[in-house]
Structure 1
Amino acid sequence: MTNFNKNNEKKTTQKLPMTGKVKTGFRTYCAAVVAVTALCSLGITAFAANEPIAVVNNLSDFIFGLIRAIGMILLGFGIVQVGLSLKSHDPSQRANGFLTLAGGIIITFAKEILNLIAG
């Protein structure tokens, strides 16, 4: 095994010299950034809804929106799998593609399916 380090000398690292004024200025800058960040993040007003049901409905809409996005991704991936299986004449990949496609459709329309079931 060859050694790629042609100079067998050990290299050492040293800190860059920093004067007292630079250290003080850097500390002041860091303190100002932390203070402005804390001021902006702690000063946000949280508006609460008048009805707790509205909050639950908004959360439900948000979660079902995320589920719909995941379903659309699976739907697209299933279409790609079916297309690739038709090109390569692979029946097992074709079956997996159709299962992924069906799962993507079910996940995409999960909210509507649950509304039909629940009434």
Structure 2
Amino acid sequence: MKHDLNNKNFERKAKRVYSVFACVTLLLVATAVPALAADDPLTVVNNLSDFIFSLIRAIGLILLGFGILQVGLSLKSHDPSQRANGMLTVAGGIVITFTKEILTLITG
């Protein structure tokens, strides 16, 4: 008897999960709005490139801040290995932050 109750509860939960999933899927399909693209494909590529490089710049700034934090904490705790890791993180953050400028400088 107890096994039958657990089985019925499981079936109810499965039906509920399936119905919620079906409703969410139907909602997503029904409210899909077509994206209007720009006329010039080169403009689209340039906009995507600018967006990606802005994300890369944000990641670089986060790494730069984390590296500065590591160096500061290493100075407080007198830990030379942490100081070296902090300096490498700062250098990596600077390189990642200025990736677009470095690539522009290399390619001309």
Which structure 1 segments of 5+ residues have no match? 1-10, 17-22
Match of 2:28 among 30, 34, 37: 37
- Determine if the alignment matches structure 1 residue 62 to structure 2 residue 51: yes
Indicate the structure (1 or 2) with the bigger Cα radius of gyration. Answer: 1
Distance in 2 separating the partners of 1:99 and 1:32: 50
TM-score by length of structure 1 reads 0.68
How many residue pairs end up in the alignment?
97
**CA distances 1:18-62 after superposition (whole Å, capped 9, x unpaired):** xxxxx9xxx7x9876654432112xx1221211111111011111
Distance in 2 separating the partners of 1:34 and 1:114: 42
Q: Which structure carries more helix by proportion?
A: 2
Distance in 2 separating the partners of 1:116 and 1:60: 16
What's the RMSD between the two structures over aligned residues?
2.6
Match of 2:82 in 1: 93
**Helix, strand or coil at the partner of 1:49:** coil
1:38 maps to a residue whose letter is: V
TM-score by length of structure 2 reads 0.74
Matches within 5 A, 1:66-77: 66-77=55-66
**Residues 1:52 and 1:31: Cα distance change in structure 2 (over 3 Å):** closer
- Determine if the alignment matches structure 1 residue 109 to structure 2 residue 94: no
